[in-house]
Amino acid sequence: MKTVYSPLHAGHAGQMELVTAAIVPGFEKPSRAEFIKARVESEKLGPIIAPVEHDLAAAKRVHRADYIDFLPTVWPQWVESGFQGSAMPFTWPTRGLRGDVAPKRIDALLGYYSFDGGATFVEGTWAAIKSSYDVALTAAALVKDGERSAFALCRPPGHHAGAGFMGGYCYINNAAVAAQWFRDQGAKRVSILDVDYHHGNGTQEIFYGRADVQVLNLHGDPMVEYPFFLGHADERGAGEGEGFNINYPMPFGTTWDAWNASLEDACAKLAAYAPDVVVVSLGVDTFEKDPISQFKLKSPDYPKIGQRIAKLGLPTLFVQEGGYAVEEIGINAVGVLTGFEDR
Amino acid sequence: MKTVYSPLHAGHAGQMELVTAAIVPGFEKPSRAEFIKARVESEKLGPIIAPVEHDLAAAKRVHRADYIDFLPTVWPQWVESGFQGSAMPFTWPTRGLRGDVAPKRIDALLGYYSFDGGATFVEGTWAAIKSSYDVALTAAALVKDGERSAFALCRPPGHHAGAGFMGGYCYINNAAVAAQWFRDQGAKRVSILDVDYHHGNGTQEIFYGRADVQVLNLHGDPMVEYPFFLGHADERGAGEGEGFNINYPMPFGTTWDAWNASLEDACAKLAAYAPDVVVVSLGVDTFEKDPISQFKLKSPDYPKIGQRIAKLGLPTLFVQEGGYAVEEIGINAVGVLTGFEDR
Ligand SMILES: [Zn+2]
Ligand SMILES: [Zn+2]
């Protein structure tokens, strides 16, 4: 399996994030991608190739154009406004407030286009976002051109980013971009299987009204876990999309057997949908030692995930999402991929 | 003019707030109320009386019952959950996310019931909120019982709090509670005149669909000023409330002449509405030295505000809102009140 990787991710470093009652160094840090890349190499998964640069047209197929146009301007605006530290918002347009008028101040715009203080900017952030997007599209093209699978080693991740908002370390929704790109390249149906610990609220929001992209999410119960405000089992899609969004919220402490039962059910529904291609939102923060997550998967479980996905017998694009246990992130992420290759 | 004041506000002290890219000690601090009280005394405005305790029924007339029931539980839940520091949220249900399912974790619930990290809790916060509510209702009763005017020295303030959310230092909307209470006591029409520097987004949201409470707001243009996501001139009310919400957004640097022109227009519309009683949301962060605001009113301007309001010839309840230039807050707030009394 080929891996697509860009060193530009490393410029997104040192950014701070808002967590419960504190602003702390981001858990989403460059070493995450470096540990994965090192494991790709040591496991001899296959060639590591550089991304091809793309314009932003594919991003605007799933995101609001004004949102995408905003992202490259954040850091320059922040600096020009004289603000210090990581660019982050401090107030948000929740219910009862207007979402139709964009304010003219950078700290307010950050709130307008987000749902938390977890997707923040430093000088190198936009270049990292853009490289992550290029990585996803380049890997998608490998699969479209006949590879059985490819690995988009994306950083920053994407699945919390919706049509018009960032959050949870995510800016451009790489998996959603790739799924839409497959559609635009002629795929009739695409399935997105999100195995990250956290609900992919952005992915769900983007495709919620559509039947041509099936979205399956396995994740911590939003009643008690981030992102809290989406990911319940009763969210099954709307309109034409009814039945094509499938959520598997699971409780704190979920171990392999229970998690795997959800995966089996998801794979059965995926197979019944019979997509032309599968996009896997590959988060490994389901790991027992993840510092911000509450599931109890162990390293030997990850190859089994890959094996099960391989059994679907479909062209498969893996897109890196979360995973914050840095020491083991390579072992677990690449474990899924070697499992997929059954070696 | 009688002032209603409770020392319980002082327990809401040392709380932190989220501002642009930092968590800092709250600008909304106990000395604000103490400086005002001292000025009430030194200017011999009139007796200072203690509030009568009320149950929360009047709060639930303008706020969601679940929201009001939540507020007293915040600090106990926060402590029980093992969190440190001020209780504050870190993620919010903005557009694309659900607002109909309350999560079960205190830090998530704080996001569910707020639009920023500016209304935070320490141990004494609920007692202060409750005392501020009692202060407003007690002062309202003085006006209902025949006083020409009364001053509710409320702290914390209230005008950013909506039916189901806190934010911007505000939890229970004291002015809205008082206005509704006047209605429930027989007033046919009530006007709320909000002269605080910031748009009273909560007050607007609460009464937006109603013709029986006119809401007039003079404030910094939300395109560039907090709360950003409400307060534009085109927000004129909805349904039966069409025409009964009137906003006067003004640019940074606004001085007395321009500000007063808005006040004149607002007073003309208020007089034409012919309410039975006026509730003034009295913020003095329009002051030129206010540390977080951008208007340029001077201390001699504040008595002129009071004089103009007095010319309406209507029973008037003053409810304290913002003002963060602590040294002058008493001079300016009490300046409005002595101006009203034309002395
Ligand atoms: Zn995650
Ligand atoms: Zn204010």
Structure tokens at A316: 């498969």
C-alpha triplet A249, A250, A253: angle, nearest 5°: 155
Tell how far the Cα of B197 is from the centroid of ligand 2, in angstroms: 5
Give the confidence band of B326 by pLDDT, cuts at 50, 70, 90. Answer: confident
Three-state DSSP class for residue B238: coil
Structure tokens at B3: 């002032």
Please check the confidence at residue B343 and state whether its pLDDT lies above 90: no
Please check the confidence at residue A173 and state whether its pLDDT lies above 90: yes
Tell me the chain A residues in contact with residue B294 when contact means C-beta distances shorter than 8 Å.
none
Tell how far the Cα of B224 is from the centroid of ligand 2, in angstroms: 14
What's the number of CA atoms in the CB half-sphere (13 Å) around residue B295?
30
Closest chain B CA to residue A119 = B91
Q: What is the mean pLDDT of the segment spanning A1-28? A: 96
Catalytic one of B9, B12, B63, B160 = B160
Structure tokens at B7: 């020392």
Least confident interval from A184-188, A326-330, B31-35: A326-330
In this prediction the ipTM stands at: 0.95
- Please answer whether residues A222 and A239 qualify as being in contact, where contact means their C-beta atoms are separated by less than 8 angstroms: no
- Please answer whether residues B97 and A115 qualify as being in contact, where contact means their C-beta atoms are separated by less than 8 angstroms: yes
Q: Tell me, rounded to whole angstroms, the distance of Cα A86 from its chain centroid.
A: 21
Q: What is the mean pLDDT of the segment spanning B17-32? A: 95
Closest chain A CA to residue B206 = A96
Tell me the chain A residues in contact with residue B224 when contact means C-beta distances shorter than 8 Å.
103-105, 108
Which pLDDT score is estimated for B85? 94
Measured between alpha carbons, how far is A180 from A66 in angstroms, rounded to an integer? 19
Query: What do you get for the CA distance between the two ends of chain B, in Å?
Result: 12
Q: What is the mean pLDDT of the segment spanning B78-88? A: 96
Closest CA to A336 of A327, A47, A325, A319: A319
Residue B282 is given by DSSP the state E
Structure tokens at A46: 């296959």
Please check the confidence at residue B95 and state whether its pLDDT lies above 90: no
Please check the confidence at residue A72 and state whether its pLDDT lies above 90: yes
Instruction: Please report, rounded to a whole number, the percentage of residues in chain A having pLDDT higher than 90.
Output: 97
Measured between alpha carbons, how far is A106 from A84 in angstroms, rounded to an integer? 12
Residue B160 designated active-site = yes
Please check the confidence at residue B82 and state whether its pLDDT lies above 90: yes
Query: What do you get for the CA distance between the two ends of chain A, in Å?
Result: 12
Measured between alpha carbons, how far is B90 from B71 in angstroms, rounded to an integer? 17
Whether chain A has a CB inside 8 Å of the CB on B22: the answer is yes
Three-state DSSP class for residue A266: helix
Please check the confidence at residue A156 and state whether its pLDDT lies above 90: yes
Instruction: Please judge whether A115 and B98 are an interchain contact, meaning their C-beta atoms are less than 8 angstroms apart.
Output: no
Amino acid at A316: T
CA distances from B188 to A55, A300, B184, B205, B315 (A): 61, 71, 9, 20, 13
Instruction: Please report, rounded to a whole number, the percentage of residues in chain A having pLDDT higher than 70.
Output: 100
Whether chain B has a CB inside 8 Å of the CB on A167: the answer is yes
Whether chain B has a CB inside 8 Å of the CB on A249: the answer is no
Give the confidence band of A95 by pLDDT, cuts at 50, 70, 90. Answer: confident
Please report which ligand is nearest the Cα atom of B219. 2
Closest chain A CA to residue B167 = A91
User: For chain A, give me the number of helices (H) and strands (E)?
Assistant: 11, 10
Nearest to B21 among A21, A86, A224 (CB): A86
Instruction: Please judge whether A99 and B104 are an interchain contact, meaning their C-beta atoms are less than 8 angstroms apart.
Output: no
Tell me the chain B residues in contact with residue A205 when contact means C-beta distances shorter than 8 Å.
96-97
Which pLDDT score is estimated for A343? 80
Q: What is the mean pLDDT of the segment spanning B235-240? A: 98
Please check the confidence at residue A238 and state whether its pLDDT lies above 90: yes
Three-state DSSP class for residue A209: coil
Structure tokens at A133: 């997007």
Measured between alpha carbons, how far is A219 from A200 in angstroms, rounded to an integer? 8
Please report the residues numbered 212 through 241 in chain A whose beta carbons come closer than 8 angstroms to any beta carbon of chain B. Answer: 222-230, 232, 235
Per residue in B117-142, pLDDT (tens digit) is 999 999 999 999 999 999 999 999 99
Measured between alpha carbons, how far is B10 from B30 in angstroms, rounded to an integer? 5
Closest CA to B121 of B56, B176, B76, B188: B76
Work out the mean pLDDT of chain A and round it to a whole number: 97
CA distances from A240 to A209, A211, A212, B177, B283 (A): 6, 6, 9, 44, 50
Whether chain A has a CB inside 8 Å of the CB on B91: the answer is yes
Closest CA to A135 of A31, A49, A65: A49
Residue A9 is given by DSSP the state G
Best mutation target among B92, B199, B223, B234 (most A Cβ atoms within 10 Å) is: B92
- Please answer whether residues A214 and A182 qualify as being in contact, where contact means their C-beta atoms are separated by less than 8 angstroms: no
Whether chain B has a CB inside 8 Å of the CB on A252: the answer is no
Instruction: Please report, rounded to a whole number, the percentage of residues in chain B having pLDDT higher than 90.
Output: 97
Measured between alpha carbons, how far is A31 from A29 in angstroms, rounded to an integer? 6
Closest CA to A39 of A339, A340, A338: A338
Please give the positions of A annotated as active site. Answer: 160
Structure tokens at B22: 């930092």
Measured between alpha carbons, how far is A172 from A70 in angstroms, rounded to an integer? 12
Cis peptide before B30 (omega within 30 of 0): no
A82: burial class by Cβ within 10 Å (0-12, 13-18, 19+)?
A: exposed
Which pLDDT score is estimated for A326? 86
Which pLDDT score is estimated for A316? 98
- Please answer whether residues B190 and B276 qualify as being in contact, where contact means their C-beta atoms are separated by less than 8 angstroms: yes
Q: What is the mean pLDDT of the segment spanning B222-242? A: 98
Closest CA to A169 of A197, A134, A137, A142: A197
